[in-house]
Every structure is written in structure tokens, then in C-alpha cells.
Structure 1
Amino acid sequence: MHTIHAPRIQLDPTRIASISGAIAVNGLLLLLLIAPMSPVMKAVRDAAPDVIFVSTKPKENPTPPKQDTKPVRVEITHPTPMIKQQEKVVEPPPLPDTEAQPGDTVIPPGTTLGPVADKGDIAPPDRGEPLTGAHLEYAANPAPSYPSSSLRANEQGTVMLEVLVDVDGRPIDVRISRSSGYRALDAAARRQVLANWRFRPAMRNGVAVQAIGIVPVEFKLD
């Protein structure tokens, strides 16, 4: 069995002193470095600003003043309409309500009439001269009534009448061409022809014209 002995260490006083001196120098240098920084740090701490606390609670909007909810009455003023002045229309007087008779002249509305001439100045239509000596053809020739005075007096005879016939066949003038010898018979014949007899119109070149002819009217007792 072997026994191992550890070597015995001997302390060197000179070496210990050198190490201690080096440690002391380093500690002094460290103090020199730390000493100037303390006032600066204190100054920094002293100069730190006050802490401002900011609240995260939302700011409440101020309540607007309560307005009157009563509806406002708005009056609308309509402009006064301008009335356009119209020209006064003069209406013509109403026409008389009369029915047109056959042969009347109907004047259409709006026709401007000229001055009315005197009736004495109105000339009959120019139809030319009547056809004289014409042979008149009867359209209707009823016999006249026998005058009662002539019956009592036994008067009889033939009246020759000169008749002017218009273009429509109506007698417009009757004259005694030759008398029967009795005034009552002549008058009765003339009245009958003028009032009740009709003739066929006389023609000239295809146009109806007035004509004058002689017709007999005979009064005879049985």
C-alpha cells in the first residue's frame, strides 16, 4: 500500500502584498468612477416630470338644450294673381226666331249688307220682253161661278181676256180684251182667271219667259 503525501504550500509575503496593493488600487479607481455619476442620477431623478394621469373614460358630450318641439306655423302668402284684362266682346243682338218661308231670301250669318235701297228703285229682274200673241196652254181652268144677278137677268155671253202669264205659269195681270156686254159677267171671269187659273210657261230658246195671250170665258144659260 502506497501513501501519497500532498506537498506543503509555503506563503510568500511579498507576493501577497503585491496582490493586495493591486486590489486596493482597482477599488480606488472604481470609486472614482462611481462618485461623479451619483449627482447626475440624482439630478435626473429630481428633474423627472410629474406624472399626468389620463383617464380612459370617454368624455361625455354636453346635453344640448331642450328645444321646444311645438311645430312652427309657417304662413305662405300666395301672390295675388294678375287678372289679364280681356277685351270686351260685343255680342250681336239675337236674331228673331222666325222660320224661313218659301220664297224668302236667307242671309247667312256674318254677311255684310249694303244700304237698303228704296223699294221704288228696285227694278224687276230682266227677263226680256214678254212673248206676245202666244198660244196659252191651260194647266188648270175651272169655270167661274155664274153671277146671281146675271142669272135673274138672263145675261149670257163670252168675255175675251188678255192674260199676262209669268214664267211659273201664274197669271200676273188680266185685262178685258173684249167685253161680254155685261159688267157682272166680265168681272166674274176676270176674278176667276186671275185667282185660280194656271198655264204652262211659254218657252223661248229653251228658257221659260213671260207670255201674253187671249183666252175666252163663256157664260151660257141652258
Structure 2
Amino acid sequence: MHRHTPHLVLAVAAGLALVGCQPADTGAPVVRSTEVMAVHTPPPDYPLDLSCNDIGGKVTMKVVVGPEGRPTEIVVLSGSGAEALDRAARDGVQAWEFKPATRNGAPVPQTIQVPMNFTPTPDSELCQAREQRAPNEL
């Protein structure tokens, strides 16, 4: 004959009672939350002097996207080592447009992390044309 301990029987009974429980239907539609989504993210202006002089790097920023879908705060978390690149990254992201995050159907601010790489192109046509100009034309 099997004997059950009272604790086990109560735990199983409580678990079975909860299985059938469902929240009351309020009739209100369920609105899913959404995350921020990039809509228009043109590349930043890469300072030609830096690109032609083989200066690049990675800038990582914390960006708060407001309920209007525009950046409301931009903080450089790790810079490239070149202030001009860090500034170009901030200025570029400031012009970006997003579809804002939503909670219960309403737009809300959301913080995202944005890495931006600047890869120099010293062999580009722009750099070559720049080098061919006379010094007094610069």
C-alpha cells in the first residue's frame, strides 16, 4: 500500500487546480509591444582628410530613440581615437529616423546601442583627385 505525504498531495492538488485557471476575458484587444526599428539611416559624412590619410575606427554610441522616432540623446560609449570621427558619427546618427518602440500601442522611448565603423579609402578617386590639386587650391 502506497502512502503519500501530505505535502506532496497538497502540492499536486494545488498544481492541478491552477492548470485550469485562465485570466478573465476583459474584451479589450491584446496590443503587442514593438521594438524600435530603423527607417532612414544614411551613412555619416566621413571627413575626407581622415579617410585619405588612412585614419579610421569604430565608434559605439548609446542612442535614446524618442516616441517621435528621432534620437533624443546620443552618448559615445567608446570612441574611435579621432574626435572628428566621433563627431561625424554623432552628427550622422542625429539625422536618422526610426519607427519608435511601442508599449500597449503607444510610442515610447527606447535605448539602443549603435556601432559605426569608419573604413578609410586612401586609394579612392576622391583622394587621388585631392592629391593632384595644387597646394594653393586646398
Quickly name the TM-score band, shorter chain normalised. Answer: 0.5 to 0.7
Which amino acid in the other structure matches residue 197 of structure 1? W
Q: Determine the structure 2 residue equivalent to 1:212.
A: 111
Q: How many residues align?
A: 88
For 1:31, the equivalent position in structure 2 comes to none
Q: Which residue of structure 1 lines up, in the alignment, with residue 97 of structure 2?
A: 198
Q: 1:183 aligns with which of 83, 87, 109?
A: 83
What SS does the aligned partner of 2:86 have?
helix
Distance 1:138 1:183 in 2: 25
The CA distance in 1 between the partners of 2:36 and 2:93, in whole Å, is 13
Larger Cα-atom Rg: 1
Alpha-carbon distance between aligned partners in 2 of 1:212 and 1:148, rounded to the nearest angstrom: 31
CA distance in structure 2 between the aligned counterparts of 1:151 and 1:210, rounded to whole angstroms: 34
Superimposed CA distance per residue, residues 23-64 of structure 1 (whole angstroms, 9 cap, x where no aligned partner): xxxxxxxxxxxxxxxxxxxxxxxxxxxxxxxxxxxxxxxxxx
Tell whether the 8 Å contact from 2:51 to 2:119 is kept in structure 1 after alignment: no
1:149 equivalent among 17, 40, 49 = 49
Identify, as 1 or 2, the structure richer in helix: 2
Q: Which runs of 5+ in 1 are unaligned?
A: 1-133
Q: Percent identity?
A: 35
* Gapped regions of structure 2 (runs ≥ 5): 1-33, 122-138
Q: Structure 1 residues 214, 135: CA separation in 2 closer, same or farther (over 3 Å shift)?
A: farther
How far apart, in 2, do the equivalents of 1:135 and 1:180 lie?
Answer: 28
User: TM (normalized to structure 1)?
Assistant: 0.37
Partner of 1:22: none
Runs of 4+ with >4 A deviation: none
Higher RCO structure, 1 or 2 (CA under 8 Å, sep 6+): 2
Name the Cα RMSD after superposition. Answer: 1.8
